[in-house]
Amino acid sequence: MGEAFSELMKKIKAGEFVYTGELEPHNLSTDISDVVEWAKTLKSIGKIVAANVTDNPQSFSAMTSLAASFIIQRDSGLEMIYQLRTADKNRLALASDILAASALGLRNILALTGDHTHMGNTPDAKPVFDLDSAQLVDLIHHMVYEGVDLAGNEVQGPRPQINIGVAGNPNQEPLEIEVLKMERKVEVGADFIQTQVVFDLDIALTYLDAIEHLNTPTLIGIFPPRSYGQAEFFDKFVSGVTVPPEFLEAFKKFKQISDKAERKKKIDEFNIEYFIDFIKEIKKKKNCAGCHIMAVGYPDVIAPIIEGVEK
Amino acid sequence: MIITKEKPLEEIYGYISDCKNVLFVGCDGCTQPPRGLKEAETLAKLVEMKAKMEGKEIRCRFTTVVKQCCETSVGNLRTEMEGCDAMVSLACGVGVQIMNKVYPEVCTYPAQDTKFIGAEEIRQGPMYEMCLACGECILHETGGICPVTRCAKGLLNGPCGGCVDGKCELPMEVNGELVKNDCAWYLIYHRLKELGRLDLFRKYRPPKKRSLAMNPRRL
């Protein structure tokens, strides 16, 4: 683990169990005012240390996450984790963005490969993938700690001050593939791991055990669903994510409740109870540094979940 | 082998509809599926028939060469091409360019879209892209399976999070149907495990030297 530049890393190093949120600029929109408001809501919860800003998720073009991260951090006061994917930029453009991020006061980058460009709304775009996520980690690490890019060109003036996050996938089958992959990413300089959404506690615990030897703080990703449809979507359409049958069954029952307010109340209660227990269990693992809560547009459950865990 | 796909007849006809004498030239080289004398004859007849249906007369002749990517081999067509005001090549994009270079006095048009360097599982069966000619072969490290070509993202440190049940999440259209390819890195993992060389899978691979594949290349 390298130096702590960000508040997130400082808190992790101090042994605090941290929470991060997720923010998503709208597709093809110049307006992120509501995303800033959402960031303010996350900050007001108190325990949320930072939030990720997605970079063209699912290869749908949105405002560059570099600019969005800067604006949201400036206007909300919440620290951002700037997500940067290699799908759209070569190593030269990525180095430019790393320099810019540091100059703009962004202190965390989540290094991602990203979904294939063909899966998004501009399927005929040229996919770049000059680097993959591990190589992006290598690039950032070189710039931060050696003051050079991957071609050996020297950084002029102060070096970037960035902590490097990587994505983990506890749902990968067989898990050995994922463990070997994470070993590579940590070898080249990953500071922390944020994982893909996990619904199944056993999967999260098994994952934490499997990567314990890496001594790398890991934030397990959760996503409290707002409806049966959302839970089912994760189970059926999100690569590698499985939702336990009993979880789906509970949401199926909630779907039958005709009164909207009553239905929401039941769903909220279920999510709060389920994820408090979930987080309490993962928190027992030494390498579990926190929880990454992906609940865009569903603030009602975040505070009660965190309060429930922390009390 | 170079995998090509025949262009629609309408498109080929569009190139030469104003011509009177056209020579269709097959290639007996590595173009797959085969595009030799038989295929050149079939295409020539189809174009002639289409012209007749439209009340035109285009005299279509046909021939083939050993390999259109060789200027010497293409040079043997001198007598046969005399009198024609256009030629249609059934070779890959290399052949079309060599034909235009050797016979600059007439235009040679492509009858094929050049797709990729690949292989077929069984004779005349489905064809698969296998090599991108990246100029920096790493097959000795990846169990003989090329991630640069067979991983949709060309990752050197895969697989990505889109590998589910050994398949790539990216759907590919093949003859009008959506199919999912095997994840190259999933195949590499199993092959290296079988060989007792998971150390090679674990190895971090630094970025490729893209300059080695900077086109146009010469040797």
Is the pLDDT at A77 greater than 70, yes or no? yes
Mind listing the pLDDT tens digit for each residue in B93-112?
999 999 999 999 999 999 99
Domain-terminating residue out of B84, B115, B146: B115
Q: Report yes or no on B127 lying in a domain.
A: no
Q: Which of A59, A177, A234 to mutate to test the interface with B (most CBs of B within 10 A)?
A: A177
Could you tell me which chain A residue has the CA closest to the CA of B190? A177
**SS3 state of residue A9:** helix
Say if A177 is an interface residue toward chain B (CB within 8 Å).
yes
B84 and B170: one domain? Answer: no
B141 and B88: one domain? Answer: no
B194 and B111: one domain? Answer: no
Give me Rg for the CA atoms of chain A: 19
Q: Report yes or no on B129 lying in a domain.
A: no
- Chain A nearest CA to B56, separation (Å): 38
B110 and B165: one domain? Answer: no
Domain that holds residue B69: 2-115
Position A59 scores a pLDDT of 95
Where residue B11 sits, what CATH number does that domain have?
A: 3.40.50.2300
Is the pLDDT at A88 greater than 70, yes or no? yes
Contact B136, B183 (CB under 8 A): no
Rounded Cα gap, residues A189 and A193, in angstroms: 11
Taking an 8 Å cut-off on Cβ atoms, the answer to whether B170 and A116 are in contact is yes
B98 and B153: one domain? Answer: no
Mind listing the pLDDT tens digit for each residue in A115-148?
999 999 999 999 999 999 999 999 999 999 999 9
Q: Report yes or no on B216 lying in a domain.
A: no
Domain-terminating residue out of B87, B115, B143: B115
Contact B22, B41 (CB under 8 A): no
Mind listing the pLDDT tens digit for each residue in A246-286?
999 999 999 999 999 999 999 999 999 999 999 999 999 99
B109 and B23: one domain? Answer: yes
Backbone angles phi, psi at A78, to 5 degrees: -90, 140
- CA atoms within a 13 Å half-sphere pointing along the CA-CB vector of B104: 1
Chain pair A-B, CB pairs under 8 angstroms? 79
Position A1 scores a pLDDT of 67
Taking an 8 Å cut-off on Cβ atoms, the answer to whether A129 and B165 are in contact is no
Domain-terminating residue out of B115, B144, B167: B115
* Domain boundaries of chain A, sorted by first residue: 7-225+283-310
Residue A138 has its nearest CB partner, among B155, B202, B206, at: B206
What is the distance of C-alpha B124 from the center of its chain? 15
Mind listing the pLDDT tens digit for each residue in A89-124?
999 999 999 999 999 999 999 999 999 999 999 999
B93 and B173: one domain? Answer: no
Q: Report yes or no on B128 lying in a domain.
A: no
Q: Provide the terminal-to-terminal Cα distance of chain A, rounded to the nearest Å.
A: 30
**C-alpha distances out from residue A219 to A79, A83, A86, A240, Å:** 16, 15, 22, 18
B185 and B99: one domain? Answer: no
Q: Which of A135, A150, A178 to mutate to test the interface with B (most CBs of B within 10 A)?
A: A135
Position B123 scores a pLDDT of 83
Taking an 8 Å cut-off on Cβ atoms, the answer to whether B210 and A130 are in contact is yes
Could you check whether the bond before residue A57 is cis, i.e. omega within 30 degrees of 0? no
Position A279 scores a pLDDT of 98
**C-alpha distances out from residue B219 to A49, A275, B135, B215, B216, Å:** 56, 61, 11, 12, 10
Q: Report yes or no on B14 lying in a domain.
A: yes
Q: Report yes or no on B213 lying in a domain.
A: no
Mind listing the pLDDT tens digit for each residue in A192-231?
999 999 999 999 999 999 999 999 999 999 999 999 999 9
Query: Is the predicted ipTM greater than 0.85, yes or no?
Result: yes
Say if A116 is an interface residue toward chain B (CB within 8 Å).
yes
Q: Report yes or no on B167 lying in a domain.
A: yes
Please enumerate in sequence order all residues whose Cβ is within 8 A of that of A111, keeping only pairs 6 or more positions apart, or say none: A84, A86, A133, A136, A137, A140, A164, A165, A166, A190
Q: Report yes or no on B126 lying in a domain.
A: no
Please enumerate in sequence order all residues whose Cβ is within 8 A of that of B36, keeping only pairs 6 or more positions apart, or say none: B26, B27, B28, B64, B90
Nearest to B7 by CA among B162, B146, B114: B114
Residues of B whose CB is below 8 A from A183? 202
B92 and B177: one domain? Answer: no
B169 and B111: one domain? Answer: no
Q: Give the count of domains, chain B.
A: 2
Burial class (CB in 10 A: 0-12, 13-18, 19+), B66: middle
* Structure-block tokens of residue B93: 């994009």
B37 and B96: one domain? Answer: yes
- Architecture in CATH of A7-225+283-310: Alpha-Beta Barrel (3.20)
Task: Compute mean pLDDT per 10 residues along chain B, 219 residues long, and list them.
Answer: 96 97 97 95 98 96 97 96 97 97 97 95 88 96 97 97 90 90 97 98 97 93
Nearest to B40 by CA among B72, B86, B3, B87: B87
pLDDT category, A19, cuts 50, 70, 90? very high
Position B175 scores a pLDDT of 86
Nearest to A241 by CA among A290, A177, A173, A302: A173
B24 and B85: one domain? Answer: yes
* Structure-block tokens of residue A231: 């839970």
